[in-house]
Amino acid sequence: MSSQGPKEELLGLLPFSGQTRGKDIANAVQKCLEDNGIDINKIVSIATDGTKSMAGIHRGETSILQKKTNHEIVTFHCIIHQEALCAQTFRAEIVEVMNLVIKIINSILAKALYHRHFKDFVEEIDSQFSYLLLHNKVRWLSRCNVLQRFVLCLSEIKTFLNEKSINHPELDGEEWLQKCNLVN
């Protein structure tokens, strides 16, 4: 370990062909460690996607590697997968807010003319931001960033939509705004 504390580096990318059983993954990890001169006892934690081949109690990669070390290995579910799992269980109100936000942003960004007009408009009024963030379905964090930017630009967005005769009465509704701020 360096004087600056632990450091994360990519040790290797291990291609798999055929089956990806726990023992196959564990053997590939062990071989990669050996090829790079790293003692298997240096493993302190493993992040998994929660599949049986990774996290299975008897034949999962983590339990196999655990048996090969002389200490407890901390295992946890990968944060990216946690985001996806969390996003799947949100209440209808959150989904409703996000769907409207994404619909409005897409309506502005999907048409090049509207996109240019919006950009010119926010620059003209000297807004804090000169663009909206596009939503990425893969990452929940992108949704948070999109929503945060949307809320910060809400007055500009409402003015722009009114000028274009695009009506979204929800944006003026107290209940929707409360939900939006709660989600944000």
Domain boundaries, the chain: 22-77, 90-182
Instruction: Of 7-16, 62-71, 136-145, give the range with the top mean pLDDT.
Output: 62-71
Cα–Cα distance, 23 to 75 (Å, whole number): 17
Q: What is the mean pLDDT of residues 170-174?
A: 89
**β partners of residue 76:** 47
Q: List the alpha helices (DSSP H) in the chain.
A: 22-35, 52-55, 61-68, 79-88, 92-109, 112-124, 140-152, 154-163, 174-183
pLDDT band at 138 (very low <50, low <70, confident <90, very high): very low
156-165 pLDDT, tens digit per residue, is 999 999 999 9
Cα 145 to chain center, whole Å? Answer: 10
Contact 84, 140 (CB under 8 A): yes
Q: What is the mean pLDDT of residues 141-158?
A: 82
Q: What is the mean pLDDT of residues 71-87?
A: 69
Cα–Cα distance, 22 to 16 (Å, whole number): 12
Cα–Cα distance, 52 to 57 (Å, whole number): 8
Cα–Cα distance, 88 to 139 (Å, whole number): 12
Task: Choose the weakest-confidence range: 40-44, 64-68, 135-139.
Answer: 135-139
Q: Is 77 helix (H, G, I), strand (E, B) or coil?
A: strand
Task: Choose the weakest-confidence range: 4-13, 49-58, 152-161.
Answer: 4-13
Structure tokens at 39: 């003692």
Cα–Cα distance, 93 to 121 (Å, whole number): 31
31-55 pLDDT, tens digit per residue, is 999 999 999 998 888 888 778 888 8
Please say if the pLDDT value at position 122 is more than 90.
Answer: no
Average pLDDT, whole number, for the chain?
A: 80
Cα–Cα distance, 120 to 140 (Å, whole number): 29
Residue written as token pair 């992108």: 142
Q: What is the mean pLDDT of residues 167-174?
A: 90
Q: In the prediction, which pLDDT does 2 show?
A: 64
